[in-house]
Amino acid sequence: MSADGTAPLSYQWSFNGGAIDGATGGSLTLNNVQPTDAGNYSVTISNVVSSVASVDTVLKVTSTGVPPAITSEPAGDNVEIGASATFTVSASGSEPLGYQWYFDGTAVSGATSNSLSIASVQAGDAGTYWVVVSNPFGSVRSMGAVLFISSGGGGSVNFSNLGISHVYDVDGTTRLPAGTTFLAQLYAGPTADSLQAVAGTASFAFPGLFDGGNRYIPSVAPGQVASVQVRVWESAYGTTYEQARATGGRTGTSALAAAAFRRPCRPYWSDCKTSRWSQGCRRARWSSLGAARSRSLRS
């Protein structure tokens, strides 16, 4: 850049309208240019009399690299409290590859490698984990890996709708996509007025279908009746159903159901309409959850 005027002349370079720190010389040099450097560059020249801004110069960057792709998804795990758990992802693409792990939608501090380890799992660690892999040419999000606890007090349920029913989008016909765009959470308690989130979230393993493994309801002992409900929300709008509703995300709930825990067995979410155990305690039948078959989200 050349300019005339009463000396001394001062220079300030800008990128897309924002001043570039330290760019105060008569020229601007970019090293190791990346796709994110593409945009409009200009310079403002000033002296004691006035200042003048140059017209924008457009820098276009041709990408020759390969964006990341997941080659091996992280797998869920079922562990006892106090045990360890590790999630691992494999990805391809142009180096360098960056990693950031998330737990129920919140970035895990310091979790920036291709694996995430929890040395001593506690009840609060149950939920859905995923990783975003990125490089200068793009980014990709993995599928969700659900961590659930295999022991606990109270009755237990298998929090899953695999092979039973589907969850649909606001149009009532489109099944929610597989992955972590939406999360499901089991709410349960002794009464309909005492529902609390049980363990962590579950992601969608297939379109419209989630699988969260066994969930223990500490507030409901075997022999008592539990009120249960499934709540689903758009994860970009919050880490909980309540946050997503408050911030305008798509949300939905199943019908309220009741389940009788007569002994510590493992019932599962079914379409049945009675609330009693079948012979041999092989399965539990929920009341009214059949209404969830055609349940859809709302915007």
Q: What is the pLDDT of residues 261-298, one digit of tens each?
A: 544 333 333 332 222 222 222 222 222 223 333 345 56
What is the reported pLDDT for 95?
92
Query: For 233-258, what is each residue's pLDDT tens digit?
Result: 999 999 999 999 999 999 999 888 87
pLDDT, averaged across the chain: 83
pLDDT digits (tens, 9 = 90+) for 71-115: 999 999 988 889 999 999 999 999 999 999 999 989 999 999 999
d(CA 164, CA 160): 9
Q: Which of residues 63 and 117 earns the better pLDDT score?
A: 117
Measured distance CA(199)–CA(211) in Å, rounded = 13
Position 19 scores a pLDDT of 95
Query: Does this model's pTM top 0.75?
Result: no
The domain 69-147 having CATH identifier 2.60.40.10: the answer here is yes
The pLDDT value recorded for residue 277 is 21
Q: How far, in Å, are 72, 89, 133 from residue 96 at the CA level? A: 18, 15, 10
